[in-house]
Structure 1
Amino acid sequence: MTSKATSEAKSQTPPRLEVKNLYRSFGDRNVVDGVSLAIEPGKVTCLLGPSGCGKSTTLRLIAGVDMQDTGEIYVDGNLICDTVFRIPPERRQIGLMFQDFALFPHMSVAGNVAFGLAGSAVEKRARVEELLAKVGLSWAIDAAPHALSGGEQQRVALARALAPRPRIMLMDEPFSGLDNRLRDGIRDETLALLKEEDTAVLLVTHEPEEALRMADEIALMRNGKIVQAGAPYNIYNAPVDRDAMAFFSDINLIKGTSNGALCSTAFGDFLTPGMAEGTDVEIAIRPQHVHLDFYRNGAAVSPSGAYGMSAVASVERARFMGTESLVELRVEADGTALKATVPNVFLPEQGTKFMVSLKRNHCFVFAGK
């Protein structure tokens, strides 16, 4: 088959999981408000957002442990649930993993992994041995769950969820209970195994770093709605609004007013296309894109280029953060507070003056709140 024919065949194949316009209300509150998404086999979508935004409720609707008010859910193009037709949870071929692992304490590791498997005892044992070998726990097959560490219990929970060969894996904050030293390794191992099994994954998290590390696509959720969806690079570098940008990192805000499609600041003019005259404007930039030069001879403008105009600012505080230093400054011209990150150890004294400039191609212009 030619690459063109392969591409066309893929485009005609329905997503492994597709959700269309899901709504779920509790009282007068729309907890899930028109959520739509699609996930391909072997891909990871992270449903990212703050606590209470509707992420876990969305997972419960897809799993079938709660019922949507309106909307449709499809697996491989086949309807599994709308407001009339509903396939029960145990027949949806959807695996579930939660933060607390939920292992059965009265069963061995083998018993936990085999729970819910169909087939003969020999077939079940073979599947258990296969999965425990993949997660590096063959030695623990007859152990009790309480004898294992938190990371080992998480791997048992993963093996149990994968044992019935689910087409889709739903994961609700599955790594948040792990020690930070273990978390990265366990996440990477889990992701590799899920991709090897060609499972479509929907992972709920409130941690941007986890979403950036694991996801093929991020769906950023707020107040029951998906406000932006796309590849991690695009979500991070082209935020839909100020709150989306701020969710991933600290940001600096430089405030002004739109006048003649421009906003004048201590760092020069910024274009404000489409904003009405007199609109409050916020120029947002991350600390790593704030550039510092020592103040010399009263110079007011830095050389032209990516950074454009500079403004004089004084250091209020500087702290070493482990791999970089965080410098807090106050712009003399208008009192704007700024933060800048500098690699390694950089701890200027309070009151030290710098020429501060902004990397213009990393500045975002938003209407003020």
Structure 2
Amino acid sequence: MNTAPEVHLMQVTPRLEIRNLVRHFSGRAVVDDVSLSIQAGQVTCLLGPSGCGKSTTLRIIAGVEMQDSGEIYVDGTLICDTHFRVPPERREIGLMFQDFALFPHLSVGDNVAFGLKGSKEAKRARVEELLARVDLLRFIDGFPHQLSGGEQQRVALARSLAPKPRIMLMDEPFSGLDNRLRDGIRDETLSLLKEEDTAVLLVTHEPEEAMRMADEIALMRGGKIVQQGAPYNVYTRPVDHAAVAFFSDTNVLKARVQGALAETPFGDFLAPGLPDGTDVDIVFRPQHLKIDFDRGGAGPLPTPSDGVAARATVQRARFLGHESLVEFRMDHDGSVLKATVPNVFLPAAGRVMWLTVKRNRCFVFPR
């Protein structure tokens, strides 16, 4: 009798793993049972509003803040719990912050070499290698004040990578750069970190930055990670209304559940598992509101994908450069819904139009 061969899946040890971190300040849990793991070469973004515990989590991992409970592992080895603690300088963890903190009295080369061990020749070779990779080798003997903000950021990156850290912690490192430079420098930084096979934990409050850089996003709120996953999944499968709203503007329809359905002017929405009488918010983004013209007092016919059309009046339309934003006042209850349309679309205020919403882009949450 033939038997199928056994398949053994090899478990890959995370480069960084934190388990159940808790930190209190003044009796309040600023970091509340936070757990996550990051593989070598992976970029994870801790994303959330100011004051949600992101930076405190980073400081605990770096060793400059002590947790009240929880454990931190690097390559499967415990480096910190409430009884045992590897000093920050021995954790092989690099740090990058908004303040580049370059030493003004040291040359660019000496800034990058700061903290390197080994012979003078070996240190010089490592400095030259990294400065060449960030296209700043010509400034090796210059000083930080002679560089632009973007160039100083790249020097700070090179300095952080010089000792070949296994993990890089980055706290809003690009927020001090102007928009013109930011995208290019983010991309350069990400490329270099990937080449070094460094595990990266990036703290940001900017959803666009997290979507652009991260392999995985951990959405944080009130000290807790409320959702974690690939950027596409976090964006398209939000856990609640606040998770939708953190990434974009939202529209909200208010309804009540009856027979597992929520009735709205756009037709009925499925609300499985919610008991009758539950008040719900039906949440969707402005780009998923479809606009149609009035045809003698009638709108488009209902479809399974778009539901029923509802009548509305244009309140205001603005061109935003790459898209247009149109605000509508709904006939049925006077509420205002927003639609974004690619390119230029500027209907006059007072114009009657019909709206539908893509059913597979709507989220039904208990209110």
Common fold: TM-score over 0.5? yes
Are 2:287 and 1:274 aligned?
no
* Structure-1 residue corresponding to 2:35: 36
Are 2:24 and 1:16 aligned?
no
Q: What is the deviation of 1:305?
A: 3.7
* Structure-2 residue corresponding to 1:217: 216
How has the CA–CA distance of structure 1 residues 98 and 5 changed in structure 2, closer, same or farther, with 3 Å as cutoff? farther
Are 2:218 and 1:244 aligned?
no
Superposition pairs for residues 269-348 of structure 1, below 5 Å? 269-348=268-347
In 2, are the aligned partners of 1:301 and 1:311 still within 8 Å (CA)? no
CA distance in 1: counterparts of 2:170 and 2:249, whole angstroms: 27
How has the CA–CA distance of structure 1 residues 341 and 196 changed in structure 2, closer, same or farther, with 3 Å as cutoff? same
Name the SS for the 1:274 alignment partner. coil
Once the two structures are superposed, residues 276-313 of structure 1 have per-residue CA deviations (whole angstroms, 9 ceiling, x without a partner) of: 22111100010000000011122255342421100000
How has the CA–CA distance of structure 1 residues 193 and 52 changed in structure 2, closer, same or farther, with 3 Å as cutoff? same
Structure 1: tracts of 5 or more residues without a match? none
* Structure-2 residue corresponding to 1:100: 99
How has the CA–CA distance of structure 1 residues 354 and 50 changed in structure 2, closer, same or farther, with 3 Å as cutoff? same
CA distance in 2: counterparts of 1:333 and 1:253, whole angstroms: 14
In 2, are the aligned partners of 1:43 and 1:216 still within 8 Å (CA)? yes
CA distance in 1: counterparts of 2:86 and 2:356, whole angstroms: 58
Q: What is the deviation of 1:6?
A: 11
RMSD: 1.3
* Structure-2 residue corresponding to 1:260: 259
Once the two structures are superposed, residues 31-63 of structure 1 have per-residue CA deviations (whole angstroms, 9 ceiling, x without a partner) of: 000000000000100000000000000000000
Superposition pairs for residues 32-111 of structure 1, below 5 Å? 32-111=31-110
Superposition pairs for residues 194-213 of structure 1, below 5 Å? 194-213=193-212
* Structure-2 residue corresponding to 1:235: 234
CA distance in 1: counterparts of 2:119 and 2:32, whole angstroms: 44
Name the SS for the 2:252 alignment partner. strand
What percent of counterpart residues are identical?
A: 70
CA distance in 2: counterparts of 1:84 and 1:161, whole angstroms: 29
For 1:109, the aligned partner's letter is: V
For 1:278, the aligned partner's letter is: G
How has the CA–CA distance of structure 1 residues 305 and 277 changed in structure 2, closer, same or farther, with 3 Å as cutoff? closer
Q: Answer with 187-196 or 118-127: which moved more.
A: 118-127
Equivalent pairs counted in the alignment come to 363
CA distance in 2: counterparts of 1:18 and 1:6, whole angstroms: 26
* Structure-2 residue corresponding to 1:137: 136
In 1, are the aligned partners of 2:43 and 2:199 still within 8 Å (CA)? yes
Name the SS for the 1:8 alignment partner. coil
Q: What is the deviation of 1:178?
A: 0.3
CA distance in 2: counterparts of 1:301 and 1:176, whole angstroms: 46
CA distance in 1: counterparts of 2:168 and 2:285, whole angstroms: 34
How has the CA–CA distance of structure 1 residues 6 and 217 changed in structure 2, closer, same or farther, with 3 Å as cutoff? farther
CA distance in 2: counterparts of 1:23 and 1:333, whole angstroms: 48
For 2:280, the aligned partner's letter is: V
In 2, are the aligned partners of 1:310 and 1:357 still within 8 Å (CA)? yes
Moved runs in structure 1, 4+ residues, more than 4 A?
Answer: 4-7
CA distance in 1: counterparts of 2:7 and 2:277, whole angstroms: 53
Name the SS for the 2:9 alignment partner. helix
Once the two structures are superposed, residues 218-264 of structure 1 have per-residue CA deviations (whole angstroms, 9 ceiling, x without a partner) of: 00000000000000000000000000010000010000111221111
CA distance in 1: counterparts of 2:97 and 2:229, whole angstroms: 25
In 1, are the aligned partners of 2:96 and 2:160 still within 8 Å (CA)? yes
CA distance in 2: counterparts of 1:6 and 1:38, whole angstroms: 25
Q: Answer with 250-259 or 208-217: which moved more.
A: 250-259
CA distance in 2: counterparts of 1:6 and 1:348, whole angstroms: 62
In 2, are the aligned partners of 1:266 and 1:334 still within 8 Å (CA)? no
Q: What is the deviation of 1:13?
A: 2.4
CA distance in 2: counterparts of 1:14 and 1:234, whole angstroms: 24
In 1, are the aligned partners of 2:116 and 2:163 still within 8 Å (CA)? yes
* Structure-2 residue corresponding to 1:184: 183
For 1:361, the aligned partner's letter is: N
TM-score under structure 1 length normalisation: 0.96
Q: Answer with 274-283 or 201-210: which moved more.
A: 274-283
CA distance in 1: counterparts of 2:210 and 2:301, whole angstroms: 37
CA distance in 2: counterparts of 1:307 and 1:326, whole angstroms: 20
